[in-house]
Amino acid sequence: MIEALEGESRLVLDVRLAPVAGSTFQPTGFPDLGAATFQRPGQPPSLIVESVQSMANRLEAVGWNGPEQQPHPPLETLPYLRIEAAADGAFLTSSRLEPHRLAAAYVRDAQIDGSKGVEWIAARLALRPGRPLDWPHIYRAIFELDPLCLLHGVFFSDPRWSGNPKVRRAITAVVEAHDVAPVVSGGLKRDDVAVKSTPGRGSREGYGFVPFGRTEWTAREIELTLVVDLGQIRGYGLGAEGERLLTLLALWEASTLLAEPLRLRTACDLDMESMRARRPDGFSLPKADELASEIAAVAQPAQHGPVLGQWPAPDVKKPEETAPDPSEG
């Protein structure tokens, strides 16, 4: 299924998108910044519809079942860290949800297998002061704790970790629009009960008629670009099976994400018009269910199940040292 990727350094997919309703869309932005517009040399204006960071979150999200608070098949058999409340065992978060994944504060400050999380992680990554980072060991350790961290990156930046190893993303996506123009419109929040504002019952409190303005955009083209760094995956040195599993997981995330319209925001519902592989030319992205079967066949039995951590970790007090009894010996 993925033999066409052997020897390739990158998989690059170019996906043409179009608004589902009408021809306008709402790009990413912040109140103090507005839309992320930019200009390519000699080209009309462009903007970022969905950033690299946001697309990373969306790719990760396709593998998590929110209502059930557990991974979707076929990721449910793969290892990850699951953090529960120390008081009552209620689910809190996991390495699949936290922005810093295995390096999250909830992992560092949890109790895992009887140890503080920060120490437990350091031991598994073999992080020792005064010693260089053992990257082959680190990659293997991360793979055995949560292989998705080798796709989406992790940065062990706490000063208590020696060396602070960082793994960059191996799968990247971004949505851009080109030849764009703003579409300025407005609306009115109605209040047919209290036509006029009164002291204590104004717009600040949610009463009255409140006019507002909004800016959407239109574009000649909207394109999602997705890149899987196959060379980086190969460079982890996990062997043929590990390399194959990570590649299948990356393809499964991409295929699952693109199988449905991209509802990025209320007024940004995009549908796929076409998809082509820029590198390697002619590659066809397999269907998600086909990839799921392949993942199930490759996943190692020893990788099943999450590792549980309790947060916050109870304070571990060292036994008090006592002076030796002079009457002994």
Q: What is the pLDDT of residue 149?
A: 97
Q: Name residues whose C-beta falls within 8 Å of residue 191's C-beta, 6 or more positions apart in sequence.
A: 207, 208, 209
pLDDT at position 201, please? 79
Residue 186 token pair: 């407005």
pLDDT of res. 162: 79
Over the chain (329 residues), what is each successive 10-residue block's mean pLDDT? 88 96 89 86 95 95 94 91 94 95 95 93 92 95 96 91 91 97 86 76 78 87 98 96 96 95 91 95 94 87 74 61 43
Pick from 123, 157, 99, 118: nearest CA to 313: 118
**β-strand 210-229 against 10-19: which pairing, if any?**
antiparallel
Helices (H), the chain: 52-61, 105-108, 117-125, 135-145, 149-152, 230-235, 239-258, 288-298
The Cα–Cα gap between 322 and 224 comes to 66
The structure tokens listed for 83 are 């953090």
Helix residue spans in 149-284 (DSSP H)? 149-152, 230-235, 239-258
Cα separation, 149 vs 279, whole angstroms: 24
Q: At 93, which amino acid appears?
A: T
Give kind and range of the element (H or E) at residue 288: helix 288-298
Instruction: Say how far apart CA 81 and CA 100 lie, in whole Å.
Output: 12
Question: How many whole angstroms separate alpha carbon 298 and alpha carbon 245?
Answer: 6
Task: Give the three-class secondary structure for 136.
Answer: helix
How is residue 295 written in tokens?
A: 């993942």
**pLDDT of 145:** 95
Tell me how far apart the terminal alpha carbons of the chain are, to the nearest angstrom: 73
Distances (CA, A) of 253 to 46, 82, 172, 227, 276: 27, 21, 11, 12, 17
